[in-house]
Structure 1
Amino acid sequence: MQKQLLLLFTNILLFSSVSFAGKVERAFKALEIYNYFKAKELFEKKVNRHDAAAAYGLSIIYSTNNNPFYALDSAKKYIQLSEQFFPNVSDRKLQKYKEYGFDSTAILLLKDSIHHKKFKEVLKKNSIKGYNHFISNYSDAKQLEVVVSLRNELAFEQTKEIGTPEAYFMFMERYPNASQLSEARANYELSLYESITHSQSIESYSTFLEQYPESPFANKAQDEIYKRTTAKGQVKDYVEFVKNYPSNRNVNIAWRNIYKLYTREYTAEKIAEFRLDYPNYPFMDELMVDFELAAKKFYPIKRDNKYGFIDKEGSEMLPFEFDWADFFSEGIAIVEKDDFVGAINKQGTVIIPFEYSEIERFNNGIAVVSKQGKFGLINKLNQLILPLEYDEIGIFNDGLALISKNNYFGYIGKNGVIEIPLIYQSAGAFQNGYAYAEMNGKKGIINLKGEAVIDFIADWIEPFNVDGLARARVGSKYGVFANNGSMIVDFQFENISEFSNGYALVADSTNKYSFINEKGKLISTMSFDFIPEALSFSKFSKEGFAKVITKGKIGIIDTTGEKVVPAIFDAIGAYLPKGLTAVKKKGKWGYMNPETRLVISYDYEFAGEFINGKAIVRNDMGFGIINEDGKQLLPFEYNSIKWIDKLGYLVEKGMEKNLLSMDFVPILPKYYQSIEVIDENLIKCATLNSVEVYNRIKGQIVWK
């Protein structure tokens, strides 16, 4: 644009037929031949007389960069003077000046050119000082808004680099109309919060709240105090928090957590104890409801493909809105909704959100949970005691639970602390203070400290039983260890059964067997014929008797190895030394007395144990019940009969079932397709189209 103006001006000088008289004329002629010194001198003498053309000429000199006087700020000064003086130019002079291209349009064009050049200059320098200078001295430039925006943007970037609350505060003070003001204010609040709480100590958060209680980060500071004060998750921690920070917004949460942790067993007694210990608990109404519900048993039941809960009276306690529901344990029931599992209390309040794939029942306030195939531990506050990063978490035995990760096994305590590191290739749950573990392909036994009680030498080993004995195998031979590390039976047997009431079957390479006691001593010679099935049925009872095989026949011996019943039977039921025992010959069952005399003939295809003088038997017509005289008490017309302790008999006829009392009186009003005894109070009965609940105490259907 400047070149155009200069060219225009030169043409005017060359082709104009009119000439200036005096200094302005000579100044423009000097300018024509680039005599900037002469032109400047002449223009300056005229400009002092408020000559608009002289001011215009000076502006051209100062805005042209091929002379030593190039200075855009001076060019701006003189174009403004030209603009200022222009209204005072007479029509006669204006007419003369127009011959040289000087008029109001020329002034505007030159001014825009100066603005454009200055804009490019400050843009190249990109400094706050430069932008501010433009804003202050070129306020009429059309680039002003852009420059203000660039200045604010640069100032904000520099402020962010400093990042202090003082820097942000200064930015807001200096640039109140900046588009970054909201972000600056937010950053100011954040940097103020971080500068005071950089130590992340409880004291620093308290100081922040004292100084800036209205800060948008006040809630965060309160949350941090709560988080750090209660980090250990103990009742005493929450109590201290409530005591020391009564105005904190998390106080009610803390109170509820105190209650959940204190009453984790969820018994009426524990709830009453809590009420006495914490009379200031703010949710006493809820507590009283819990107190009433604690003693009431809830039963999960299904209706229209949804689960809800009823009590023993059949009253609906919680609505039918779950895809699956478990029994309540420690005041909490695991329930499922939309393929996710959570937990509720007896008031129906969600205690654990629906975010897990699995939740096991709570045990002493702790539950195993899984999400996306990984397992962890939570408490009743849904706090992760153990992160969700394990492939397996077993049940707690002896205070420890088996865990695995990346094919290695170890053990954790109930506080989520790893007590025995994950160094084993395989391992088992603790039993009686011991567990088997594997290292380098060999198995041994460790104690609760992770110390090897039995070295890692076995190809197979089991945990110590209640008597402190463990079977082991090296190669194909079995032996027995004691929990003091000694070996009571060397690796010499082909098979050893589990110990049962102090005795275990041992078999040698000749397929003969006998029994050893807890000291590893044989009670008799290896005279019995071994078959694999003997490992499961040839065991000593509590009364001290065991079935044995001789030449394919079954007999009974005592703990001294003496024969009590000769080996003359194909099979023998549970041996009753003072009652009748079921025995089998030639495919049929009968009963013998303690003297081994047959008292009930071989008439049955099945013969059960006598209980309360009655036995379930089966002939070719079906199942029935007889007494010890062999007299039929219940007709042989049932598909099956099962004894249910303290209740009677579950009988099935055709495709339908009923319950009979011990006197064979029907308990239920009709036959059902399935019957499930829930507990001593309720029985769940189902037909093809309905489910009913029978109350045993009331003797009637209470829900359907």
Structure 2
Amino acid sequence: MKTRGQQVFASSLILFITFFSIEVPKRAFRMYEKRDIEKTVEALDKSIEKDTLNPAAYYLYSVLHTDSLYQGYDVDEAFNYITRAIAQFKSLSDPKDLEDLKDVQVDSANLEIQRDKVDALKFDLVAQVHTIAEYEAFIKKHSDAEQIPQAYAGIHRLTFKAAQEDHTWQAYKNFIDAFPSAKEYDEADSLYKLLIYNERTDDGKLASYQSFLDEFPGTPYRDEIIPEIFKIRTATNRIADYEAFLKEYPSEEFQQIAYKRIYHVFKEKYGTDEFLKYFPSLNWNDSIRNVQQLEKDYWVPKLTDNTIEFVNSNGTSMLKTKLTTVPQNCLCEPTIADFVVGSYFEESAIISRDGHLLYSGNFTNARDAGFGFIILEAEDGERLFHKSGEMIINEPKEAIEVLNESLIRTAENGFFGLESINGLRYLENEFTLIDTLGRFLWLEKEDGIALVSPEVLFPAIDGQTPPIEFAYDEVELLGNGRIWVSRNGQEAILDDELRMVIPFGQHQIYEEAYGWLLKEKGKFRVLHDRYPELSGKTFSQVKSNQQWLALKEEDKWTLYDQLGSSSIQQEIDSVATLGENMVMLQVGNKLLAQFKNGKQLTMEKDWSYKLLIPQSYVKTGEPAVHDYFMLSNFKNYRKVYNEFGREILSATFNEVVALEDNMLRLQKRNAALADSTGHYLLNFVYDGIGSNEDGYVSTLDKGKFGVINPAKQINIPPVYEKLIEPYTDTVMVAVKDKYKGFINTKNKALTAFEFDEVAYFNDSIALVRIEDEWLLENIKNEDILYERITDWEIIEVGEEDKTLFITTETGQGIYSESMGQIIEPTYTYIRVLGTPKDPIYFAVKLVAEANIYVVIYYDKKGNKLFTQSFRQEEYFKIACPAN
């Protein structure tokens, strides 16, 4: 090993020698040309021993180490030698030295050629090994080699391959950060973005999509994310949710979808008149106004050239179609929906009122489900379509029902589930019942019933599990809006927010006018709105009517006034309710009748009591708000009291009957009528008095009938053969000599007594029958307005105008209360189409000889709209089947 001093001396010696000349091993070059490797090496070694500043020797050494015939072949050594040769060559400046080197073809060009060759040989070896370490070492050592880009490319390939094997977004992210110029950059970048998108949004949650978009606003998957956000955010199909989405994610595509859906939800809830006020749009205004105009009137079908066109109530053609048939309900009922249904070319079709084909396919019927939905009925089940053109549920279901704008109930294999407009599910089909109960949803499984508000289910569309508790065995909505529920034999009451009003307990709960009655183990609790202090007590018996509440504790009763101001009464031995206003009280040895105002009447010995309930309440079954109390002795002496305990009558009567609130029938040998004050409305002049019919009371004397109505000051003596019937407030129907006729309330005859039957048409015109013929007769002047009617039917065609469907020997016709004869009775068949307000009459004449049906459409005033002739097969395409 050389010492430091020796190294310094050698360097100085080299510098000194360069002032003279450099060593050029020309013999070595000659030996190499002769391919004498051994002598070449020997000559090179001697040359370097003479002078280490020897670029030619190092050059040849480099060439030698890349010669396959040389046993010491070594590319790395060749590189070291050529590097030293170039370095020494660059230090030379003497022209003579450069000329000497050129003689052996050692110049800058050949040096570079040799180095390039060494670089290439080395790179071939590195490429064979093909590791990142080898490429990096090559780049570091051969920094200016032509193969440097290839080395980097090798590193890129290997690193990208490793990232592919790892196949995580982190691996690809590291690659693109480290090698922005790599050929694989675009692919790695694409995979990075795909994998991080998949990982961050794999749960399909709204928050994941939104946070990813916030973090990566320029993501190439934006066009995939926005639809997913729309799908979740607007699955409730609520107007506010569409508005919120469009505000945050403006999109012409989704605005069009949302706008069409919003229109139908708005229409269902609020009508269409103010839609454009809240949702103005330059693109939609004209279209919406056109649709609104088209939807104002009903349509009926008309067959023209073997295809269906639709006309409005005026007979104006509104839509010509290629449909050849329409469903029976369309033939028999006016089309008020915003679409029409029919079939052509063996396919069924749905067409909007503005003529757009919404849907065509194989279905048997289409029904409007509300909120823009149409249920398609087919042999294999039901599907759901939206009027905007979207197929919402394409897989057939056993049944589909739209509960509201947000919830679509489906049935599969006998189980119910809930879906949304965007196809996301709220609940799987695993419920035995799903229905609405007020504003709540009734969800039922084998293990119970749950009541939830619809909003509780909304998180389910974002993958969350809604909190559903099957807490009840039975559920019933009460008339006061409260909800009765039971569980495991216990009952409870919920309010309209599902909060407990009465907690679960081993009791039976009864809804009462005053509040609630709870029965538990033979005892009662009373939850009274007026007497809340009662809730903490238990009672052995409870009795009540509209006015009074009686509660028994131990052996005594307490009486509470539920409506009036009477004081609470205690220490009562027994209580019996009497109707809705009175109670009978036993206090000691006293029996007391207590009226609604608290007034008491002591019962005397040998007197019996009876509550008189007006017949008007008995007939209807309604609680008797007003009644009478009667005392009787064994001689039929009667005392009658009103509901406030005031004595209004006292006399001997065989019978007293309450006919109505303000009328009593009194029977002695004859009958009389008195009002609620005891005033006689009719004295004891007739044999009998009949029952009350809407204030009209029949009278009977010597086998003849009359009528009295004190409220209307009517008193017709009993001179007629049968019961007198009111026709109007001022006209009555009476019978004389077996025939009916009209009289006024003063018993003046208005017509002859010649009718077998009378039917009401209006106050001034009556339908009367003489033998087999019906006539329309003016009661006032006895004019015959219409005759020869064999049958008739009053049809509803508006509130102000009564219309008569008549049949005569010549055919069927129409007669109007206000306009007289509208359609002459010459038609084989007439069908009323349209609506009661604006009817269209479909009148048919059958020409039997030619098997031709002549059809004339009339408006409500009898004006001909159009006339058509059909052969039988054509006729049955457009005619509503007769019942």
> With structure 1 as the length reference, what TM-score do the two structures score?
0.49
Q: Which has the higher contact order (CA 8 A, sep 6+)?
A: 2
Larger Cα-atom Rg:
2
